Structure 1
């Protein structure tokens, strides 16, 4: 069943009408994601930059502001 959390609607792929990925699609995605992670890890520490909060903070102004994934592990 779809849930609305922090102003966002969360649905299962079936609820959203999205067909399941094939094994080939999953393998291609994982290969691309791993290649991207390797490129990111290869950047020297002194050359890394932090993106502004506006690029990755979807929780500001919601009941989940300040929440981190680690909070669920406690």
Structure 2
């Protein structure tokens, strides 16, 4: 016996017409721009990073991580 196909309970939205205006909320542009800017600033400022003087073990660890990532 063949399986029954469920029927739709809501109508399907029509496809947008050619040249139709698409409106985005403000955060759909602002959030990706803010994320890109933050990541870019992290990458751009990494050349000036210095290990702290009081914790040489942390500095050595960070230096090892830097060498590992650079390979």
**Structure 1 length normalisation: TM-score?**
0.31
**Structure 2 length normalisation: TM-score?**
0.32
Query: Greater strand percent: which structure?
Result: 1
Bigger Cα Rg: 2
Query: Greater helix percent: which structure?
Result: 2
